[in-house]
């Protein structure tokens, strides 16, 4: 509970970061920035001067959002927006990482409507871009394709996130802090810990055939039974890579035979 | 016709440098102008603009080309966008040369350019979403997650930097492949045996890493205990003797089955799981 509220500068910096991500103004590098809460959590940690705790909270949020992909552009939730509010609230009120998920999830859903709004405004800009294209006006196209959509997104995101952080975060933080330790917190914590199952189930469904589940079970029981050895994830990734290599090698050998 | 051949109107050659420049422009504009009716068509135009300027020296040809690429277009940035950018550049180059040489009947028509883009954008986006967004991204995040959990900012920075660098490099490879092979490049990517192997291998690795993550980070345990004739029984201890890690596994598989039966209804699954966990926690089972 080191902070009572966010300063104007802190709220503004976080709001600008969210706008830069959600406007996609940093090119394709914004794909992971938008799909994953990690970098947003890191920036919030830097701005609020507590990177370590911010990262712990964000890691818990990440698990819920594993497997989020956006075919066609729309997602049911916006992890970066969710994190930009949930991590400051959790830092202000001293929430546990699994409890912070309860704040992140509803905010993320609201965030997805905001993203749709961006498409809507861009639809108006297209009329102007069409005109510049017909004139082969490269400066005009710079305006229509890059500058105006970016400005629109910043106008959309910066004030909203700023107000939510500057005025909203302390209120939510005080409210949640007043509930601390009770039954509700136990429930929130259980939900937060279990929701990680959602992200993982989603990714199993999205990237693998049902027959690949056997590799999930292999890794799961390996990690559960070897937990005391504290094998790190890079080692596990190497083992997984070898398993994947063997799988591809054997299946393609069958196909050739 | 040959009287029209003015050296100043000759299309310039498209070099690797031009492709690199266009790749950066497409990569940068990518989702910025996304709109409901054209999706990310303007971004492809933004990428192609310097190339079109080198190819079409006649104002009306250039205007036509610009307008052509304002038509609806949507794909994934790396596998779809990279390949299609390269292929489109090669088609536009062929068209520009044919027009300049007065072989209008033989020139690649505007319809062919458009239908090539529209035909390839879906299949390539499917591959790109599965590999980049769905697998490579989450393998990197899974590897780095424990660092974040331990409080290190590297858990955020390393997967991001790695993902951006990797996708930028192989995306440019697709641009060059598309430009070199033209439409044959798409056959190579969509139908190629190596891509299938790569996709399978990455899927296995991704799914394996999810098993590792599930074991450490899905936290479902029961707090239920009871006493029989002075002896206390703790349900979680009994479960751990039967099969360690049973409850988290049941939770993951439960959601997986839900997705299998009902489709990918993420919001419903989220609400449903929250309610079930909430009730179980409320009555003291979890």
User: What's the pLDDT at A254?
Assistant: 62
The mean pLDDT of chain A is 90
Distance from CA of A16 to the nearest CA of B (A): 16
pLDDT at A71: 57
Are the Cβ atoms of B214 and A28 closer than 8 angstroms?
no
Residue A75 above 80 pLDDT?
A: no
Least confident range from A68-77, A192-201, B48-57, B246-255: namely: A68-77
Neighboring chain B residues of A63 at a CB cutoff of 8 Å: 145, 213, 217-218
Q: What is the pLDDT of residue B165?
A: 98
Distance from CA of B227 to the nearest CA of A (A): 23
Confidence category of residue A256, pLDDT binned at 50, 70, 90 = low
Confidence band, pLDDT 50/70/90 cuts, at residue A2: very low
The pLDDT-based confidence of B284 (bands split at 50, 70, 90) is confident
* pLDDT mean over B222-240: 87
Res. A70: pLDDT tops 70: no
Lowest mean pLDDT among B64-73, B182-191, B204-213, B255-264: B182-191
Residue B205 has pLDDT above 90, yes or no: yes
Residue A246 pLDDT > 50, yes or no? Answer: yes
Q: What is the pLDDT of residue B172?
A: 98
pLDDT in tens, B24-62: 999 999 999 999 989 999 999 999 999 999 999 999 999
B270 or A57, which is more confident: A57
How large is the average pLDDT for residues A171-189? 82
* Per-residue 3-state assignment (H helix, E strand, C coil) for chain B: CHHHCCHHHCCCCCCHHHHHHHHHHHHHHCCCCCECCCECHHHHHHHHHHHHHHHCCCHHHHHHHHHHCCCCECCCHHHHHHHHHHHHHHHHHHHHHHHHCCCCCCCCCHHHHHHHHHHHHHHHHHHHHHHHHHHHHHHHHHHHHHHHHCCCCHHHHHHHHHHHHHHHHHHHHHHHHHHHHCCHHHHHHHHCHHHHHHHHHHHHHHHHHHHHHHHHHCCCCCCCEEEECCEEEEHHHHHHHHCCCHHHHHHHHHHHHHHHHHCCCHHHHHHHHHHHHHHHHHCCCC
Rounded mean pLDDT, A123-140: 96
Cβ pairs A/B, distance under 8 A: 372
Task: Determine the distance in angstroms separating the CA of B26 from the nearest CA of chain A, rounded to an integer.
Answer: 8
Per-residue pLDDT, A73? 56
Give tens-digit pLDDT for A217-237: 999 999 999 988 988 889 999
Chain B, 156-215: which have a CB under 8 Å from a chain A CB? 156-157, 159-160, 163-164, 167-168, 171, 193, 197, 200-215
Q: Which residue of B has its CA nearest to A41?
A: B156
Please check whether residue B270 is in contact with residue A105, taking contact to mean a CB–CB distance below 8 angstroms.
yes
pTM of the model: 0.89
How far CA B45 is from CA of B42, B50, B98, in Å, comes to: 5, 9, 21
- Cβ proximity of A114 and A82 under 8 Å: no
**Whole-number pLDDT of residue B142:** 93
Q: Is the pLDDT of residue A1 over 50?
A: no
Distance from CA of B177 to the nearest CA of A (A): 20
What is the pLDDT, as a whole number, of residue A185?
Answer: 82
Cβ contact B94:B50 at 8 Å: no
**CB distance A126–B33 less than 8 Å?**
yes
Is B72 within 8 Å of chain A by CB?
A: no
Residues A205-219: tens digit of each pLDDT = 888 789 999 999 999
**pLDDT computed for residue B166 by the predictor:** 97
- Among B141, B259, B274, the residue with its CB nearest the CB of A202 is B259
For chain A, what are the domain ranges? Answer: 8-207, 209-257
pLDDT at residue A196 is higher than 90: no
Sort A121 into a burial class: Cβ within 10 Å, 0-12 / 13-18 / 19+. middle
Stretch A190-196: mean pLDDT: 87
């Amino acid at each position: 509970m080191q902070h009572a509220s966010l300063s104007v500068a802190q709220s503004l910096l976080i709001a600008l970061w969210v706008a830069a991500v959600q406007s996609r103004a940093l090119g394709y590098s914004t794909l992971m920035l938008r799909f994953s809460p990690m970098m947003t959590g890191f920036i919030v940690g830097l701005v609020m001067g507590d990177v370590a705790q911010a990262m712990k909270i964000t890691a818990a949020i990440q698990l819920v959002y594993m497997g989020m992909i956006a075919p066609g552009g729309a997602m049911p939730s916006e992890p970066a927006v969710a994190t930009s509010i949930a991590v400051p609230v959790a830092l202000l009120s001293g929430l546990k990482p699994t409890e912070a998920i309860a704040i992140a999830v509803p905010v993320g859903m609201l965030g997805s409507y905001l993203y749709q709004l961006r498409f809507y405004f861009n639809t108006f800009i297209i009329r102007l871009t069409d005109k510049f294209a017909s004139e082969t006006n490269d400066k005009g196209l710079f305006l229509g394709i890059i500058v105006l959509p970016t400005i629109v997104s910043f106008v959309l995101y910066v004030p909203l996130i700023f107000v939510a952080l500057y005025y909203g975060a302390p209120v939510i933080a005080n409210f949640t802090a007043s509930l601390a330790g009770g039954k509700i917190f136990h429930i929130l914590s259980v939900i937060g810990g279990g929701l990680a199952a959602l992200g993982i189930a989603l990714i199993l469904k999205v990237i693998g055939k049902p027959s690949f589940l056997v590799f999930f079970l292999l890794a799961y029981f390996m990690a559960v039974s070897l937990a005391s050895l504290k094998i790190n994830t890079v080692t596990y990734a190497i083992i997984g890579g070898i398993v994947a290599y063997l799988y591809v090698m054997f299946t393609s050998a069958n196909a050739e035979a | 016709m040959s009287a029209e051949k003015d050296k100043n109107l000759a299309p310039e050659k498209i070099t690797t440098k031009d492709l690199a420049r266009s790749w950066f422009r497409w990569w940068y504009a990518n989702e910025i102008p996304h709109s409901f009716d054209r999706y990310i068509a303007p971004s492809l135009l933004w990428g192609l603009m310097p190339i079109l300027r080198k190819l079409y020296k006649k104002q009306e040809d250039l205007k036509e080309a610009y307008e052509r690429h304002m038509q609806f277009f949507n794909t994934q940035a790396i596998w779809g966008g990279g390949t299609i950018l390269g292929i489109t550049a090669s088609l536009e180059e062929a068209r520009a040369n044919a027009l300049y040489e007065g072989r209008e009947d033989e020139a690649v028509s505007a319809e062919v350019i458009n239908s090539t883009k529209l035909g390839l954008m879906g299949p390539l986006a499917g591959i790109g979403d599965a590999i980049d967004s769905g697998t490579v991204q989450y393998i990197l995040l899974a590897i780095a997650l424990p660092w974040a959990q331990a409080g290190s900012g590297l858990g955020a920075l390393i997967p991001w930097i790695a993902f951006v660098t990797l996708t930028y490099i192989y995306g440019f490879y697709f641009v060059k492949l598309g430009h070199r092979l033209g439409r044959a490049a798409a056959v190579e990517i969509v139908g190629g045996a190596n891509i299938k192997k790569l996709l399978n291998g990455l899927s296995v690795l991704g799914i394996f890493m999810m098993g590792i993550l599930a074991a450490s980070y899905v936290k479902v345990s029961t707090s239920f205990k009871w006493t029989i004739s002075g002896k206390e029984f703790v349900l979680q201890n009994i479960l751990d003797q039967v099969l360690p890690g049973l409850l988290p596994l049941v939770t993951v598989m439960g959601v997986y089955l839900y997705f299998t039966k009902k489709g990918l209804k993420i919001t419903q699954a989220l609400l449903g799981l929250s309610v079930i966990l909430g009730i179980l926690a409320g009555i003291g089972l979890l």
